[in-house]
Structure 1
């Protein structure tokens, strides 16, 4: 062979192949993606070597195998056998799982374990308890991760009738069993747990099921940690209060009266059912539905906690303890909040358990009213609770109603006497706000409970002894300041039973309606119409599911029947005749008039 030919042959055989691969078709690429497994199957290559991996990492700084182990735990799909084997090896290495091996601990905490088999769950719980017993440094990380399990998948549907599914119940049992062990073995976990459930409570605009699931688990904690009840109930009511003030009763009633589903989703951003805040858009009807479900769960807890599971009878010691724990929560969270709609009914529910609780609650509120060192706004709120509870509850006996009226009347007359000693009485409504609120409370109770109070001559004599005529004609003129609906209904009752004649004063006040202009502490000019800015907390409860717990104990308004025209013509007061004729033209709307927007309302649904 010639050199030339051999050279040519050698050059042909040594020619490098092209570095460009033959392009793949789209079909072949799709086939590769479809056939590629979405998750790698976990195969532990370090059997009985986890401890040596840790040792090499800590002592020699060899991080490659350690990082591979962490990545494998984090990204692989673990079977029950794999996870059980890994947990057993990790348990044998508890002594070295300090801050340096935090990544390994985080990877194990991220493992989905609550729906595994009983053996794996037991191994996992044992590992966590041993870990925190030896290294409390990891306590906050572990507790935060466990509390996150109180939040379900956002796409999960609501529980039917608020009852957890068997699958969810099984998951919750595993988490709470671990919490119960941790709180016994590592007492410092208790404070961390309280802090964690506060920080991870769902934002009020989250879905109904997320709130339902989370509150269900918080109440579950109380089964094995009663000492945490004040903290947990305080958290729950403070969060429900935010929902309550953002879901007004008027908005709900408007759609109930229109026979619409108040919980229908509305995607229109301009809808009156939605409210846009600085951060988010709130659908008020979805929020009201969430509040309804959550309140129903809380009401169920209070009922079951205070009653025997078998007989259904009240367990007095438990009810008394729960009531005393609720008072500070009511005092700190509920009482100072204006214009709530439903959350405060927890106190209504508790007072219906036993008359003794109702009496204690009324005495507690009355002490606040009589405290001259208390803030006027809180004293006014307290007397509004008294009036609303006495008027709306059908379980409070008549003797207690009369006792409340007697207390109110004595205080009012004492206040009037103290002001009569002055030559000039300050006409500024703000100076006598508590007095006017107490007067309005008495007027409100008389108007609501008048049928019970006039059943016998003895009761009518009692009403006469209250000397209501002096109240309405005193120089402080409470009829000018009280809510018009309360004044009109009180006037109708007192005229019918000749307890006081209010219409002359009402007519005089109607001719003197000049507003008061004053400057507040910040220098702003404010115009006031001289009417009490108040609300009655136990106005109609309009939420459907939770309202079923309230309805059997709730009293609706029964308006007074007006005297007939023959009786009225015998009245010598011309002003009264004029006012009666004016009032009679709208008598058919009397209940609607007394059912004004901010309270009091008279239709339960």
Structure 2
């Protein structure tokens, strides 16, 4: 008796039968027409093969199944016969099972699909030896049958949706009947994941099916998310920001040269909404699907209300994958925005994410490079997320400032401070995060007397005048914008230190673990994980929560460059004065270009 009820099936377009006469009369070469001459034929052949009476008929049957054109009635009779002798289909008949698995069963009638599904489930219920082979074949159905365009807005058409439903119906039943198939399913989806240079629709189709598994097997979510993030990271690191921008510029120039018509065609309009870099375009489609998945996963589809328990569970699963896959990877530009989007759904998630990052920064048990990365994430997150409450922003700044002052106090007791940047990398990274956030969010922090009092309590002057001299190590774009803010609000005096540092730049030369000679310019790496998002389709999910930079240099630069020489002439002994120079300022400001600076705009 079949395990599956026919009432659970969804209709699929029926396969059109072709008469034998029309096949024979066709001028094109066709497959041989397979036909069972007797209702007991298949069962008899299998029984005879098991008893070692007849091998030739068995081999001919395999060839007929693989090479012939099976019509709806043919495959239905074949499956019916095979089901009646299901107890005989052990590992000795694995070739027969392989032959049946080669059948394109999704293209047949609804009743034939139901018969095929029933056969697979009954087979694995009786012989789990075939589980790996069946699961591997089912996962192969996660690929589209033909190379077609992407789904509009990422939504599958009815035909593809019906095929996916039929495949996942079998997998869901098999996972219940044979629990060991969970591990086999994980192995199959990992080994079958599309190569990164496959078409964008193949990636879209496969990712859609992976996320579909979570609807009936949610306990696999953490493992599948880890797999998805690891493959998205590969796409991300192979589509660097510089290459994406170059492709956009090159294609834009080509459009200008060859576009002679005033009216844009639909094709040209589609190009404008598509990232020109091929891998970035694939990443864009996958990121859009992941944002949609996160939203649907935590919101009630009927009421539209946020489910806090679901959000907590999803956050813990995503932060686990983030910690293992995204966080340790250098120079990713877009994948980390999934956690950025998730944090926008509720302030408690943002707080949890900041606590997670600060735990890494403040832990001496974690490698300095990871502590440095965590500090960069905190700075970039606080600067770019417009949903961060002012209280949370101030609390995090106060926490970082307290740690910095404790570090400075510990160094004050040492007679000779080691000036090697590598020794104090975490300290400098935290300082740079503080400077970056204050420069970026100064209008939010300093828009009232209470806000000014708070920033004054951070004691920024002590940081910049510390013997460790963080202004020497932090990136020049951050330093110049931070100096402009502190000058305007009289929070600290940085320009004299900046001028002194510019005259005393000495590179550090050392040997690494392998003995190679390394020359360092003693400046922190540019790591700002939430720099502007370049992917066009998925960018719409990020834009409502993203802050662009308002450049304070535009309002202070002219006044500074005109008055600084006069102030310098008034007193050369005033060490707190702004000993900056117009030429130097202009040179540094030109470095604030998009993509090379931490989000600061250029002052041209």
TM-score by length of 1: 0.87
Aligned to 1:419: 411
Between the aligned partners of 1:48 and 1:422, the Cα distance in structure 2 is 93
| 1:19-168 equivalent positions in 2, closer than 5 A | 35=27, 37-168=29-160
Between the aligned partners of 1:400 and 1:595, the Cα distance in structure 2 is 30
Q: Does 1:562 align with 2:562?
A: no
Shift of 1:307: 1.3
The aligned length equals 551
Task: Map Cα deviations across residues 553-596 of structure 1 (whole Å, 9 max, x no partner).
Answer: 0000001120736875567566855515346656xx94x63346
Greater shift in the superposed pair: 58-67 or 522-531: 58-67
Residue 366 of structure 1 is aligned with which of 358, 368, 384? 358
Aligned to 1:483: 475
Between the aligned partners of 1:525 and 1:101, the Cα distance in structure 2 is 63
Alpha-carbon spacing, 1:519–1:262, altered in 2? closer, same or farther (3 Å): farther
Aligned to 1:332: 324
Residue 172 of structure 1 is aligned with which of 164, 167, 170? 164
Alpha-carbon spacing, 1:46–1:98, altered in 2? closer, same or farther (3 Å): farther
Task: Map Cα deviations across residues 156-194 of structure 1 (whole Å, 9 max, x no partner).
Answer: 222122111111111111100111111111111111001
Task: Map Cα deviations across residues 50-75 of structure 1 (whole Å, 9 max, x no partner).
Answer: 22211211213411111111111111
| 1:111-510 equivalent positions in 2, closer than 5 A | 111-256=103-248, 260=252, 285-510=277-502
CA contact (8 A) 1:255 1:261 kept: no
Shift of 1:441: 0.4
Between the aligned partners of 1:61 and 1:250, the Cα distance in structure 2 is 69
Between the aligned partners of 1:234 and 1:336, the Cα distance in structure 2 is 13
CA contact (8 A) 2:377 2:528 kept: yes
CA contact (8 A) 1:535 1:598 kept: no
CA contact (8 A) 2:496 2:579 kept: no
Alpha-carbon spacing, 1:81–1:176, altered in 2? closer, same or farther (3 Å): same
Between the aligned partners of 1:83 and 1:603, the Cα distance in structure 2 is 66
CA contact (8 A) 2:477 2:600 kept: no
Between the aligned partners of 2:170 and 2:409, the Cα distance in structure 1 is 65
Alpha-carbon spacing, 1:231–1:373, altered in 2? closer, same or farther (3 Å): same
Alpha-carbon spacing, 1:145–1:259, altered in 2? closer, same or farther (3 Å): closer
Between the aligned partners of 1:210 and 1:49, the Cα distance in structure 2 is 40
Corresponding residue SS for 1:549: helix
CA contact (8 A) 2:499 2:579 kept: no
Alpha-carbon spacing, 1:86–1:390, altered in 2? closer, same or farther (3 Å): same
Between the aligned partners of 1:443 and 1:409, the Cα distance in structure 2 is 10
Shift of 1:114: 1.2
Alpha-carbon spacing, 1:240–1:284, altered in 2? closer, same or farther (3 Å): farther
Aligned to 2:542: 550
Alpha-carbon spacing, 1:567–1:397, altered in 2? closer, same or farther (3 Å): farther
Between the aligned partners of 1:418 and 1:465, the Cα distance in structure 2 is 20
Alpha-carbon spacing, 1:596–1:482, altered in 2? closer, same or farther (3 Å): farther
Corresponding residue SS for 1:545: coil
Aligned to 2:12: none
Shift of 1:260: 2.1
Shift of 1:513: 1.0
Residue 513 of structure 1 is aligned with which of 505, 520, 523? 505
Corresponding residue SS for 1:223: helix
CA contact (8 A) 2:549 2:600 kept: yes
Shift of 1:155: 2.0
Q: Unmatched 5+ residue regions in structure 2?
A: 1-23, 256-274
CA contact (8 A) 1:454 1:460 kept: yes
Between the aligned partners of 1:95 and 1:71, the Cα distance in structure 2 is 23
CA contact (8 A) 1:540 1:602 kept: no
TM-score by length of 2: 0.87
Task: Map Cα deviations across residues 362-415 of structure 1 (whole Å, 9 max, x no partner).
Answer: 011111111011100110111111111100011101111111110111000000
CA contact (8 A) 2:495 2:578 kept: no
Between the aligned partners of 2:99 and 2:585, the Cα distance in structure 1 is 77
CA contact (8 A) 1:486 1:594 kept: no
Shift of 1:43: 1.1
Corresponding residue SS for 1:339: coil
Aligned to 1:593: 591
Between the aligned partners of 1:258 and 1:129, the Cα distance in structure 2 is 53
CA contact (8 A) 2:121 2:174 kept: yes
CA contact (8 A) 2:493 2:578 kept: no
Aligned to 1:581: 582
Corresponding residue SS for 2:33: coil
Between the aligned partners of 1:526 and 1:459, the Cα distance in structure 2 is 44
Between the aligned partners of 2:563 and 2:476, the Cα distance in structure 1 is 25
Between the aligned partners of 1:468 and 1:54, the Cα distance in structure 2 is 84
Corresponding residue SS for 1:114: helix
Aligned to 2:525: 533
Corresponding residue SS for 1:601: coil
Corresponding residue SS for 1:543: coil
Alpha-carbon spacing, 1:357–1:34, altered in 2? closer, same or farther (3 Å): same
